[in-house]
A and B are shown apart, each in its own frame.
Chain A
Amino acid sequence: MTRLAEHLMIAPVVLPSFAGAVMLALGGEARRNVNAALNLVTTFTLVAISIALLRAAESAPTGVAGVYRLGDWPTPFAIVLVADRLAAIMLLLTSILAAAAVVFSLARWHRVGVLFHPLFQFLLMGINGAFLTGDLFNLFVFFEVLLAASYGLALHGSGSARVIAGLHYIVVNLAASLFFLIGVSLIYGVAGTLNMADLAARMPAIRTEDRALLEAGAGILGIAFLVKAGMWPLCFWLPGTYAAAPPPVASMFAILTKVGAYIVLRLWLLLFGAEAGASAQFGGEWLLVGGMATVAFGTIGSLASQDMARLAAFSVLVSSGTVLAAIAIGQVGVTGGALFYLISSTLGLGAFFLLIELVERGREPGADVLAVTREIYGEEDELEDSHETGIAIPATMGILGLAFIGCALVVSGLPPLSGFMAKFALLTSALNPPTGPTPTAAWVLLPLLILSGLAALIAMTRAGIRAFWASPDRTVPRVRVIEIVPVAVLLLLCAIQTIQAGPIMRFMQATAQSLHDPSDYIRGVLGSAVDRPDSRRGQT
C-alpha cells in the first residue's frame, strides 16, 4: 500500500471532525448553505472512503485491511485503529445512511434548529471511530463523542416532547457511560491492558482467582453496550426518544443501536471465544435470553403502538434483539446471517423513519411540532419561500404508498426483499448446525422470529391502512424530490442486497468466520509491531 492509502484508514474519523470544526468556525447559522454543502461533500466522500476500505478488506488475505497505530508507537502501547471486514461493512452502512439522512434534511429539517450540520459530522466521527478502534478506552471516548452529538441532535428542533424524551435519553446514557468506565477499569486492573487484541491474547493466561473479577468487569461493560443496543430490560428509554427525534436524526439513530450490537459481537467473540479457556462463552445464555426477550418486547410494543414513529422505534428493538440472540447462538453460519440481517434491517428502518415524516406531514401532530419550532426560531418566512420553490413530486400518495410497502416488506421480513433473505439465512443456519443436533435455542428462536415478522406485518398493515386509505379528507402532503429520493435509494439498496444475495452472503460468512476465529485479527494487530521495536531501537 502507498503511504496515502495507509492514512485512508483514519480518514473516517479525521474528515468529519475537521469538517465539523470548520462548520463551527464558519459560524453555524449565518452560513447554513455553506455548512450544508460541506456536510454533503464530506458525507459523500465518506461513502467513497468506506467503499475503498471495504475493497481493501475484501482483497486482504487475512481480512484485515490495515492496522493504524496512532503516533507510530509499538502496538501494545499505541492506540490502534483496525479496519477489518466487519468494521469496513459497518462504516459503509453508516455513511450510506448518513448520506440519505443529510439529503433528506436539506428539504426542511436542518433549518428547524441550530448547528445541525456540525453535530451531524461529530456524530459520524464518533460512530466511525467506535467501529474502527481497537482499544477499549478509545472506544469509550468515541462513544462519548457520538453520544454528545446525539444528545444535541435528539433535541434538534426543540419542543416539549423532544426535550423530555431527550432528558431521559441523556440520563440513561450518562449512567451507562459510568458502567462503561467501571467495566474498563476492572478489566485493566486484572489484565493490565486495554488493547482488544492484546486482551484477547492474554485471556487464557488470566489466573483463576482473578477470573471472576475480569468476568464481572466484562459483564458491567456489557451493560453499557446493551443499553445502547436496547436489550430488554435496558431499553425503556428507546421508543420515546426515537419516536420524538427529528426524522433524519431518528434515521441515523437506527444505526446507533447497531453500534452496541457491533461491539458486543466483536468483544464477545474476541474475548470469550473458544480460546478463552475457562471463560469461553461467558454470558452467552444472558445474551440469548435477553435478545429473545427484546424481540418479544419489541413485537408486543409494535402491535400496541398508536402512531408510526413508535412502531418504527419498536421495530428497531425487534431488529436489535434478533441480532443479539443470533450472536449468542455462537455459530459461524448464524452470525453471517445475523450480519446480513443487520444490514438489511438498518437500511429498511432508516428508510422507514424518513418515510414516516413524509406520510405524517399531511396529518396534524407532526405539523404541530413543526409549527411550534417555526415560531421559536421565527423562520416562517424562509420556510414559506422554500415551500414555493421546491419541486413537488407527482402522484405523491402513490409513491409514498409504494415506499411504505417496501419498508413493510423489509422490516417484517417477507419476500421478495432482503428482510426475507436475511431471516431465511439466519434460521437455516441456526437449524442446521455443522456438527451435532439442532440446539434448543434455535427451536425457540424460529417461532419467535416468525411471530415477530407476522406481528410487524399486522402492525404495518394497520398503520398503512390508517395512513393511506382511512382518511379521505386528508390533505395530500407536498413531498419534494430530495425527500423521496433518499427513501427510494435506501429501499433500492435493499433490493440490490436481495439480487446480489449470493456474493454479499459469501462476504458475510467470511466476516463471521474471521470473527469466530480471531487469530488473524490478533496477529494483524500485535504481529505487525513485532519487528518494529527493534528497528526503532536501532534508530535511537
Chain B
Amino acid sequence: MEIILALGIGVLAGSGVWLILRPRTFQVIIGLSLLSYAVNLFIIAMGRLRIGVAPILAERAAGDPAHFADPLPQALVLTAIVISFATTALLLVVLLAARGLAGTDHVDGREPE
C-alpha cells in the first residue's frame, strides 16, 4: 500500500515537474494539475495511511485515536482541492487570453528565434 502510494506520488510529481518546464502553456497547466494531484495525495499520506477506518471519533467521547484515521489532512485536502481547482480555472482563462493576444501558445508570448 505505502509503496504504491509513494510510487504514485512520485510519478505524478515527476511528470508534473517535467511538463511545467515545457514551453507550451497547455503543457504547463497540465503539469500544474498533475503536481497538485501529487501534493494532495502527499497531504493524505502525511496523516498516516489507514484503510477502512472512519475519520471521526466516537460519539460523546474521545475514543481511542488508534482506531480512527486522522481527519485533519482530509479537511486540508478538501480545501486544497477547491483552491487548486479555482486557480487552475483562472489560469485557463489567462492562458486563452494570452493565446488570443500574442497569437502563440508559447509561455513567453513569442516563438523562439
Contact = CB atoms under 8 A, between A and B. Distances in A.
Interface string B17-55: 000100001001000100110010011001110000000
B94 A166 contact: yes
Contacts of A140: 79-80
16 contacts: A137-B79, A148-B86, A158-B97, A159-B101, A163-B101, A164-B109, A166-B94, A167-B94, A170-B90, A174-B88, A174-B91, A175-B20, A175-B35, A177-B87, A181-B76, A188-B47
Contact of A171 (B28, B73, B76, B83): B28
Contacts of B42: 181-182, 185
A371 to B, nearest CB: 15
Given A167-B94, A189-B47, 13 more contacts: A144-B87, A151-B90, A155-B94, A158-B97, A159-B101, A160-B101, A160-B102, A164-B102, A170-B87, A170-B90, A174-B87, A177-B83, A186-B46
A148 B89 CA distance: 11
B57 interface: no
Contacts of A171: 20, 28, 32, 91, 107
A26 interface: no
Nearest to B94: A167
Q: Kindly name the residue among A163, A174, A175, A189 whose own CB sees the greatest number of chain B CB atoms within 10 A.
A: A174
Interface residues of A, number: 31
A160 B95 CA distance: 12
Nearest to B88: A174
B43 A185 contact: yes
B59 to A, nearest CB: 14
A155 B84 CA distance: 19
B20 A170 contact: no
A178 B39 contact: yes
A188 B86 contact: no
A361 interface: no
Contacts of A148: 86-87, 90
Given A160-B101, A167-B94, A181-B43, A141 B28 contact: no
Q: Which 8 A-B pairs have the closest CB atoms?
A: A189-B46, A164-B109, A185-B46, A185-B43, A160-B101, A144-B83, A163-B98, A181-B39
B95 A167 contact: yes
A158 B46 CA distance: 41
A504 B101 CA distance: 48
A167 B91 CA distance: 7
A351 to B, nearest CB: 29
B108 interface: yes
Contacts, number: 92
Given A141-B83, A148-B87, A182 B32 contact: no
Interface SS of chain A? helix
A194 B72 CA distance: 10
Contacts of B79: 137, 140-141
A186 B97 CA distance: 36
B46 A151 contact: no
A79 B39 CA distance: 23
A188 B73 contact: yes
B15 to A, nearest CB: 14
A164 B108 contact: yes
A304 B29 CA distance: 33
A164 B79 CA distance: 29
Contact of A170 (B84, B91, B101): B91
A427 B20 CA distance: 42
A175 B39 CA distance: 11
A63 B43 CA distance: 35
A168 interface: yes
Contacts of B72: 188, 194
Interface in B53-101: 72-73, 76, 79-80, 83-84, 86-88, 90-91, 94-95, 97-98, 101
Contacts of B76: 137, 181, 184-185, 188
Given A151-B90, A164-B109, A170-B94, A178 B73 contact: no
Contacts of A163: 94, 97-98, 101-102, 109
